[in-house]
Amino acid sequence: MSLSSKNSLISLISSIHKLESSLKHVNMLSVMKLKTLALAPPNGWGFIDPTTKNVILEKTYQELIATAVHKRALLGVEVPSSLGQIIQNQICDGIAQSERGKWCEEYGLGDVVSAIAQPIAKVIDRIAGTSIKTCGACAQRRANLNKLGRI
């Protein structure tokens, strides 16, 4: 195996470990993302940290993230790389169902699996000279998983 291939595999393994760490902190059954971070959602920029129980209210999304990170650091609590997603999930969950579609995008299981698999497929394609990343069956599998219901 060439040095380049070894480095690619090491990079892949590192990415998988980072992904595993992030996924520990995200509820995979409720993956939502705000459509814009420039406008305050109906309930404002608020977050109740499920780990520290801190209630954080800020004027902007950036201030909300910064304060959540700062409060966790003061307590010596890990700051997951997925903290922004955790906050966005909570904000979207707090928006009335009738308004949620205006503010948030909801992702199905196929979308989540694809987001995880695509970077891995890209590295495999680069190393093995395959075209897994553009696999037609993968796109169909994504659509089928999404049909199971939005998560």
Give the whole-angstrom CA distance, residue 147 versus residue 150. 7
In terms of residue numbers, what domain contains 42?
17-106
Please report, rounded to a whole number, the percentage of residues in the chain having pLDDT higher than 70.
78
- Sole residue written with tokens 């922004």: 84
- Within-domain flag for 5: no
Please provide the average confidence, as pLDDT, over all residues in the chain.
82
Which residue from 104, 92, 90 is spatially nearest to 48, judged by alpha carbons? 90
pTM: 0.61
- Within-domain flag for 101: yes
Q: Position 54: which residue type?
A: N
Adjacent-strand bridge partners of 32 = 106
Which residue from 121, 98, 99, 116 is spatially nearest to 31, judged by alpha carbons? 116
The predicted pLDDT at position 151 comes to 45
Q: Do 102 and 29 belong to one domain?
A: yes
- Within-domain flag for 90: yes
Q: Do 82 and 114 belong to one domain?
A: no
Domain count, the chain: 2
- pLDDT tens per residue, range 49-91: 999 999 999 999 999 999 999 999 999 999 998 899 899 999 9
Q: Phi and psi for 76 in degrees, rounded to 5?
A: 70, 25
- pLDDT tens per residue, range 121-140: 888 888 888 887 777 777 78
